[in-house]
Amino acid sequence: MKKISVYRPTSIEEAIQILSLHGTDAGVYAGGTDLLIRLKNRLKQAPTFLVDIKKIGNLRYIKETPQGGVQIGALTKLAEIAESDVLAKKYPMLVQAFKMISSPELRNASTLGGDLLQEVWCQYLRGAYSCWRNGGYICYGAIGDNSYYHSAMGGRLCYAVYPGDAAPALITLDATVKIAGPSGIKEMSVEQLVPGDMMVDGRIQSHVVRFNEILTEVVIPPPNAGFRASFEKLRPRGVWDFAMASAALGLQLRDRTIEDARVVFGGIAGKPYRERAVEAFLKEKTLSADLANQALAAALANAAPLKYNATKIDMAKGLLASGLDKLAAS
Q: How far is the CB of 229 from another protein (least distance, A)?
A: 19
Q: Which long-range contacts (CB under 8 A, 24 or more apart) does 121-124 make?
A: 121/149, 121/160, 121/163, 121/242, 122/149, 122/150, 122/160, 122/161, 123/148, 123/149
Among 304, 322, 326, 328, binds another protein (CB under 8 A): 322
Q: How far is the CB of 254 from another protein (least distance, A)?
A: 27
Closest approach, Cβ 304 to another protein, in A, equals 17
Nearer to another protein, 11 or 302 (CB): 11
Separation between Cα atoms, residue 29 and residue 325, nearest integer Å: 41
Residue 187's contacts (CB-CB under 8 Å, 6 or more residues apart) are 176, 177, 178, 179
321 binds another protein, rule: CB under 8 A: yes
Residue 85 CB neighbour total at 10 angstroms:
9
Mapped onto helix, strand or coil, the DSSP state of residue 200 is strand
Sign of CA dihedral 202, 204, 205, 208: positive
**Least spacing, CB of residue 24 vs another protein, in Å:** 16
Binders of another protein in range 200-239 (CB under 8 A) = 216-217, 219, 234, 236-239
**Does residue 96 bind another protein (CB under 8 A)?**
no
Among 27, 28, 47, 49, binds another protein (CB under 8 A): 49
Task: Please tell me the distance from the alpha carbon of residue 260 to that of residue 104, in angstroms, as a whole number.
Answer: 34
Contact residue for another protein among 21, 280, 289, 297 (CB under 8 A):
21
Buried b or exposed e, range 235-273, using 16+ CB within 10 angstroms: beeeeebbbbbbbbbbbbbeeeebebbbbbbbbbbbbbb
Cβ pair 263, 279 in contact under 8 A: yes
DSSP calls for 54-98: GGSTT---EEE-TTS-EEEETT-BHHHHHT-HHHHHH-HHHHHHH
Nearest approach, Cβ of residue 146 and another protein (Å): 8
Candidates 98-106, 154-162, 197-205, 269-277: pick the segment binding another protein (CB under 8 A). 98-106
Distance in Å, CB of 315 to another protein, minimum: 5
Which member of 240, 254, 288, 297 binds another protein (CB under 8 A)?
240
| Site for another protein contains 289 (CB under 8 A) | no
Nearest residue (CB) to another protein, 110 versus 252: 110
Number of residues that bind another protein (CB under 8 A): 87
Site for another protein in 176-205 (CB under 8 A): 178, 180-188
Mode of pairing for the β-strands spanning 49-52 and 5-7:
parallel
Looking only at residues 108 through 147 of this chain, which bind another protein when binding is defined by CB under 8 A?
108-109, 121, 123-124, 126-128, 140, 143-145, 147
3-class DSSP state of 195: coil
Question: Residue 97 or residue 321: which is nearer to another protein going by CB?
Answer: 321
Should residue 104 be labelled a site residue for another protein when binding is judged by CB under 8 A?
yes
Give Cα separations from 74 to 80, 154, 185 (angstroms). Answer: 12, 30, 14
User: In whole angstroms, how close is the CB of 140 to another protein at the nearest point?
Assistant: 8
Q: What's the closest the beta carbon of residue 4 comes to another protein, in angstroms?
A: 5
Given 27, 32, 114, 155, the residue binding another protein (CB under 8 A): 32
User: Residue 291 interacts with another protein (CB under 8 A)?
Assistant: no
Using CB under 8 A, pick the residue from 59, 97, 117, 303 that binds another protein: 59
Name which of 187, 172, 263, 246 is nearest 218 in CA terms: 187
